Amino acid sequence: MVDDNELKKLRDAAVPGPGAEARARALAAAMTAFDEKDEAAPQGTAATPRLTSRALTLWREIMQKKLIATPAIAGLVALPIAGYTAFHLMQEQRSAVDASDSVAETLADKPASAKPDTQPPVAAAPSTDEIKQKIAPVASAAKPEAATPAGNVQAAPRKEFARMKSAEMKSAAPLAESESADSLTGSPASTTLMAEPSIAPAPMPADTVQPREENRDRVQDFKTNPVRSAKEDPVSTFSIDVDTASYSFVRRSLKDGLLPQADTVRVEEMVNYFPYDWKGPTDAATPFNTTVSVMPAPWNAEHKLMHVAIKGYDMQPTVQPKANLVFLIDVSGSMDEPDKLPLLKSAFRLLINKLKADDTVSIVTYAGDAGTVLEPTKASEKDKILRAIDGLAPGGSTAGEAGIREAYRLAQKSFVKSGINRVMLATDGDFNVGQTDDDDLKRLIEKQRETGVFLSVFGFGRGNLNDQMMQTIAQNGNGTAAYIDTLAEAEKVLVEGASSTLFPIAKDVKIQVEFNPAKVAEYRLIGYETRALNREDFNNDRVDAGEIGSGHSVTAIYELTPKGGTQQVDDLRYGEATTSNGGVSNADEFAFVKIRYKLPDADTSKLITTPVTGANEVSSFDAAGADQRFSVAVAAFGQKLRNEDATAKFGYDRIQEIASAARGADPFGYRAEFLSLVRLAAAMN
């Protein structure tokens, strides 16, 4: 049995100085106090030395292997090494061997817990090489001015044990003074322990609460579209939007148990995430068809919804133009996560299998600098392309601007006249080398857009996602932005939606709606806040707008307050809208919808107009088509997540009821998944 008096003396006494005599006394006292008596191991468990014996043995190995080259350095790093070694070993041995009550009380400052009936296998003691790897980062972090005085160790999880370890460390025989730390670092001038760059810092104990990683996601702030008076401001103008990034981001947030940040919810992107069976054009000469419906608003009995549905011409595979694609891939260090570069590589492998043999693929990567991984290569050489993708590895900073320039250079090198020329940027976040300002990148993309090369952006991962930058360069590069959080989403975007993603049928598509104040008192555009255009931009062919891909559907929804209904905006006292003959032209129309677009290789826009009359109106919301009702349910959900006033009293249960009744054909399960998201959001509110 260990003498309690000896232990108390050790606990209360200051650690001796570094003199040889003091070291000898400390060693003798430690060895006397902890004279080992091996215990028989429990049946079925390997016999293992007790904790203190292992600690002493490990320290002797460290000293004998000359990992610490001078007494001065030994004293400098002794305390942090002792604390780390003590805690690490006690974590491994917590349930292994039960010491006597008196010793346990001294080591842990509390009574020993009851000995369990069964014990897990005891971990083997770390090797000298393992200890060397763990010492390096700990020692390099120690500083002389920060060292804790002997006898006052605060950081060790078991302070008594740390004091004993300190005494043992100081009792070790000094090394020859002719030996120095040069034997460790390999440098004559080096006096500091250096860790190899490839050696990771020692892991934190399992029961230590680690700080939550900072979320550096960047999204564009915007305000919800206001209610406008049809008398004062009868014209609404915006650019078409077929991006889907917001829906994927919202889905990931909800599945992670978090309500999404309001500015990550762009209602139009949520609505346009789903395929709809709108009536399309029959001839490629007219790239899309417009269907307008007017129905009661389910969340306000006094209001109506004007539902504008656009369907693009669906190009048949036999007539799809030749594609020239440049994969611009972020391989910076932050991409080294399972949902980033590994997912990206799998996603692009899916796309390769979709291409035709005479399509062309190039690969550019960027980290600290940009580099060409694959020169323009025919898709028929699939194995070569896949090997290039599989060989991608993360590391470095993010020189996105240099990567964009190199990608456009390769796109021009293999440019296909009357074909598809597109840069496909895949990234997780900011560009931090070169031009990093969004406006600078916008100007760069606008200049390259004039060459006939389009750009699409695919975001991956969380915590560093620069959604604002993605939106900026996609909108100004005649491209689309998508967020890929799963391989299923990659399949949806790059395989099922390959035609609409890769093959544009119209660009610079703008919508302008003029409301008749004789029929409509107020209106509000649901979504498209970041796509708003000035009224005069509609007829200006120099103003960029969105593109529509082959077979793509686009939906826009207005909420209307009919004339005579309860208005949120008071009428003006002066300036009643009249015409010279005392009436209003086309008084039976709700609105007049105009769509302006350019063909992919054209510079001059064309115009399509659609008057909205009583013939477009349905008697009840339930009488509207299933696709119309489902898209309205999605729009209500998006507004609910943004906490907008219009749907404040409209419950998630009602949204789910509408979506369930209008689910219709759902071959890929997208609508079923939407219903599960509504349930998740309801549970979190």
Residue 329 confidence (pLDDT): 93
C-beta of residue 582 within 8 angstroms of C-beta of residue 572: no
- Do 486 and 514 lie in one domain? The reply is no
Cβ-proximal residues to 396 (8 Å cutoff; 6+ apart), any chain? 331, 332, 333, 367, 368, 369
Rounded Cα distance between 450 and 640, Å, is 40
Q: What is the distance between the alpha carbons of residues 155 and 167, in angstroms, rounded to a whole number? A: 16
Structure tokens at 137: 């980062």
Model pLDDT, residue 371: 86
pLDDT in tens, 460-494: 988 777 787 788 778 777 778 899 999 999 999 98
Q: What is the pLDDT of residue 419?
A: 87
Q: Would you tell me how many other CB atoms lie within 10 Å of the CB of residue 372?
A: 15
Task: Give residue 400's pLDDT.
Answer: 65
Q: Counting beta carbons within 10 angstroms of the beta carbon of residue 258, is it exposed (0 to 12), middle (13 to 18) or buried (19 or more)?
A: exposed
If asked whether residues 436 and 455 sit together in one domain, one would say: yes
What pLDDT is attached to residue 57? Answer: 56
Are residues 17 and 122 both part of a single domain?
yes
- Is residue 649, in this structure, part of any structural domain at all? yes
Boundaries of domain holding 674: 228-244+257-315+505-569+584-683
Q: What is the 3-state secondary structure (H, E, C) of 412-456?
A: HHCCCCCCEEEEEEEECCCCCCCCCCHHHHHHHHHHHHCCCCEEE
The confidence score (pLDDT) of residue 192 equals 35
- Do 177 and 300 lie in one domain? The reply is no
Task: Please report the pLDDT score of residue 326 as a whole number.
Answer: 95
What are the residue ranges in the chain where pLDDT is below 50? 36-52, 65-74, 76-77, 89, 92-128, 131-132, 134-202, 204-212, 433-435, 577-582
What does the pLDDT read at residue 465? 76
Tokens of 60: 């002797």
Indicate the residue among 496, 516, 531 that finishes a domain: 496
Choose the final residue of a domain: 496, 526, 547.
496
Whether 63 and 149 map to the same domain: the answer is yes
Domain containing 545 — which CATH number?
2.60.40.1230
pLDDT of residue 158: 39
Give me the residue label for tokens 């209106």: 523
Q: What is the pLDDT of residues 69-84, one digit of tens each?
A: 444 444 544 555 555 5
Strand ranges inside 477-588, DSSP E: 481-484, 504-515, 520-526, 546-549, 553-562
pLDDT value at position 109?
A: 41
Q: Is residue 556 part of a domain?
A: yes
Confirm if 410 and 404 have CB atoms less than 8 A apart.
no
pTM of the model as a whole: 0.67
In terms of domains, do 294 and 443 share one? no
In a domain, 672, yes or no: yes
Cβ atoms 416, 444 nearer than 8 A: no
463/384 same-domain check: yes
> Do residues 491 and 521 share a domain?
no
Q: What is the pLDDT of residue 58?
A: 54
Is residue 385 located within the same domain as residue 294?
no
Would 278 be classed as within a structural domain? yes
Chain-wide mean pLDDT for the chain?
A: 76
Q: Looking at residue 220, what is its pLDDT?
A: 79
Q: Which two tokens stand for residue 638?
A: 């998006």
3-state secondary structure of 307: strand
pLDDT given at position 512: 96
Position 463 scores a pLDDT of: 75
Note whether 521 and 490 are same-domain residues: no
378, 405 in Cβ contact below 8 A?
A: no
Does the residue 198 lie in any domain? no
Helix (H, G, I), strand (E, B) or coil at 469: helix
Residue 325 lies in a domain: no
**Domain presence at residue 220:** no
Which CATH number goes with the domain that contains 489?
A: 3.40.50.410
Same domain as 520, residue 420: no
The domain boundary residue, chosen from 438, 465, 496: 496
Pairing state between β 546-549 and 300-312: unpaired
- Number of structural domains in the chain: 3
The residues near 68 (Cβ < 8 Å, ≥ 6 apart) are 62, 74, 77, 175
> What confidence tens digit (pLDDT) does each residue in 308-325 have?
999 999 877 667 789 999
Dist. CA 119–CA 301, nearest whole Å: 68
| Residue found by looking up tokens 């050790």 in the block | 10
Q: Both 346 and 429 in a single domain? A: yes
- With respect to residue 197, please indicate whether it lies within any of the assigned structural domains: no
